[in-house]
Amino acid sequence: MQAVLRLGDDALVLGQRLGEWCGHAPALEEDIALTNIALDLIGQAQSYLTLAGTLDEGSPKTDDELAFLRTDNEFQNLLLVEQSNGDFGDTIARQFLFDKFALLRAEHIAQQTFDLDAAAVAAKAVKEIRYHADHSSKWILRLGDGTQESHSRIQQSLNNFWEFTGEMFAADEVDIAGAASGLLPDLSTMKVKWDSYINEILEKATLVRPEDGLMQTGGRKGVHTDELGIMLTEMQVLQRTHPGASW
Amino acid sequence: MSDNKSNWPLWEVFVRSRQGLGHKHVGSLHACDAEMAIGNARDVYTRRQEGVSIWVVPADSITASSPSDSEALFDPANDKVYRHPTFYVLPDEVNHM
């Protein structure tokens, strides 16, 4: 259940973040692209959280209850996805680092048979995430192999987010149990594929892969950066002020 | 490639729907290259399942007939009814044409 909850939380937090771009993107077409991606993620979040809610047999919850009534230390999303959007380049860098991880993960879950409900959600998500990864990697190529300004700024964005990439591959007991059951992929194998993809794109974009340094972790255990609390305050205020409200 | 908005060229977008036979013009958008134009067209013009195939063409490549020429170009066809295939009597078996 925790594994599925994490899938939902990653999607929910990132979807909420991308939704913040609505009306603010640098071009109309990008505004629609980013918000479409946000909607895809929110759809995935709804499916995964509904499933996670039913897996908690002691106290089953709805997707809305999980999304709007948990506090930040109950969320198990990656620290990477809760970071502020920054400017367009920052958002693209964050997407680029996350999308390939999400794609590899979803591809695995779609073909495993331990949990067929999760497999169905993941199979639909794979098509969406394939487009997200294409979108972000193409932008990395344009910005990296672009003007001097775009090159140095996207390099800086990648450098800034690099410390959050370690957490994607830091296996804890949930990941180990998940890999044993077949539900989740083996993270060390996945990291090899992720590395080769990231390196290939960065090289084509004439960008430098940031040095591995200290990696931030804690998101999977509910220990988050300040960013998440602030974001949740805005996201949850309506449900908390008027509990049970609906459109 | 510059990502300066004022330099992005205009592209015309044509989409073929699931039941359609030909690509129809649905609108235009700005993008910095052809790949991005396809991506943007997918995001902007196929959100509601409008299509299964997208063509994007740089707006500069399109030559349009001038409205001031429309009399000379199109009016002469109005009174040449012999060009229409409407005088054949079809046998019942193929009368659904």
- The 10s digit of each residue's pLDDT in A91-103 is 999 999 999 999 9
- The CA distances from residue A218 to A215, A232, A242, in Å, are 10, 17, 31
**Which pLDDT score, from 0 to 100, does residue B5 have?**
53
Range of the domain at A176: 2-209+216-241
Question: Which residue intervals of chain A are DSSP H helices?
Answer: 2-19, 28-55, 63-69, 79-82, 88-111, 116-144, 148-161, 173-181, 187-204, 226-241
**Which pLDDT score, from 0 to 100, does residue B97 have?**
60
Q: Give a yes or no: residue A246 inside a domain.
A: no
* DSSP string across A135-161: HHHHHHHHHHTS-HHHHHHHHHHHHHH
Question: If we measure between CA atoms, which residue out of B32, B39, B52, B41 comes closest to residue B12?
Answer: B41
Domains and CATH numbers, chain B: 5-62+70-94 (3.10.20.520)
Q: Is the pLDDT of residue B1 over 70?
A: no
Q: Is the pLDDT of residue B88 over 80?
A: no
ipTM comes to 0.73
| Residues in a beta bridge with B10 | B30
CATH number of the domain residue A114 falls in: 1.20.1260.10
pTM for this entry: 0.86
Give dist(CA B24, CA B18) in Å, integer.
Answer: 12
Contact list in B for residue A26 (CB cut-off 8 A) is 3, 5
Give dist(CA B34, CA B52) in Å, integer.
Answer: 18
Q: Is the pLDDT of residue B3 over 70?
A: no
One-letter amino acid of B59: A
**Which pLDDT score, from 0 to 100, does residue B6 have?**
61
**Which pLDDT score, from 0 to 100, does residue A244 have?**
79
**Which pLDDT score, from 0 to 100, does residue A176 have?**
93
pLDDT-derived band at B2 (thresholds 50, 70, 90) equals very low
Q: Is the pLDDT of residue B4 over 80?
A: no
Give dist(CA B75, CA B68) in Å, integer.
Answer: 12
Q: Give a yes or no: residue A100 inside a domain.
A: yes
**Mean pLDDT in residue range B16-28:** 89
Q: Is the pLDDT of residue B93 over 50?
A: yes
Q: Which two tokens stand for residue B69?
A: 């020429």
Low-confidence ranges of chain A (pLDDT < 50): none
Q: Give a yes or no: residue A197 inside a domain.
A: yes
Q: Which residues of A touch B (CB under 8 A)?
A: 26-30, 32-33, 36, 131, 134-135, 138, 142-143, 145-147, 150
User: Total structural domains in chain A?
Assistant: 1
CB contact under 8 A, A29 and B44: yes
Q: Give a yes or no: residue A247 inside a domain.
A: no
